[in-house]
Structure 1
């Protein structure tokens, strides 16, 4: 059956039992929220703790650039108290929410990018620590608006998370300060917010969602040689063949990094260690 037809049929089923599900969520004393990406589930769980239940649309290992949500994920979305959005700049989410909004007037949509200074058309706001702090404040504001009696609990969790972010931030700064070469050659241009915070120069292999042409690869190889780049940072959700071509030509190694980690803090330290041993 055509995927669009399936999608529309699912949308028709998503919200038929909303009132019943809202009562169940209330009885369990938990807010049921949906997010698009794993890092956002991590943020919500860290702050909401025992008072939240999170449905994540894009599963581990899937590309957040091209994934089509499974029907069951959409059904879970329909049972949610709110959909906590990555932000209006992301085309994937805009397309998805446009269809969902027309099918359900009761589902609340919260834009977690509110207050973030956007970097051009780059939607990957969750990869910058400064931006994640703002996202955390927006999550906190939503939670206390729904459960004001648990304000101190949410505040304590948020402050703990902010402290963990600050510790990771200082650790990364110390490592980057010791790097002679601040060029960060990556496959997918997701790291602009991260790179800006630490004075790194993000150089992306992919262009406009497509593999580079042969002429572009040649230019990248020349540039990488000129910059004496020794490491290429490859996102595991994408085809690594172009990165391998460049690595072979310049004698560089490939390090896998995750732009949509299930554990954000752990991922920051993982990236830091890979920057440390990059040789750049």
Structure 2
């Protein structure tokens, strides 16, 4: 009889499965190293800007020679941050409100109705989100200035609505499609008109999606630079545009004063996010309506 030899344990551990295990571990280590490096780099930049905004003098040393808050007072007076913040809140609030009022009903129509040219219309909604804002921002600003709206707060709001309304529509369509149409049919059977059905039946079901989309619109509008820069005038600049002018406009300005303005911008954005996240849980942004089996 011929003896049959079995592979040893050491040979089994050096097979293809072991190589795949080592490769997966190396990949996980590489991903975590990249993430940690990114976080450390980001925190370092933020810490440098915040420290500089309080520094009396910071040259060729690890830490400033002293700390002061006078740069915030200087930035508040020099850049008229009171007026800039007020304009920013007004523009952001108007864009968020109008995006919801226009986008949610339009999303309902796109989700529930079939009509000729629907796919072409969906493509049209996608264009402002796929195309860089500068590409359509320049001709849009030209039209607004020729109409007499450019340089005003209304012009800035209209320009920001171009990408935000399609964004709300595209986010809300999946939420609406997840609601069983029989819920609406039952509401109509009990005598609810379109308005009452939308307010008392659909709105509570769609509220997570509405809050999620408007939260993203809020953040997008605060950070939107290109469209606001092209259509804003002296009295309709948002905080991000005012920060740009503070950095690149003619004249000599203290670096600490500009850093103080950047900190105000970061804190303002953070406050908006904290307020919004009290009403929207990011882990529950997408809710699925429970469909009853058809009888």
TM norm structure 2: 0.24
TM norm structure 1: 0.25
Which structure's residues are more often strand, by fraction?
1
Which structure: larger Rg? 2
Structure number with greater CO (CA < 8 Å, separation at least 6) is 2
Which structure's residues are more often helix, by fraction?
2
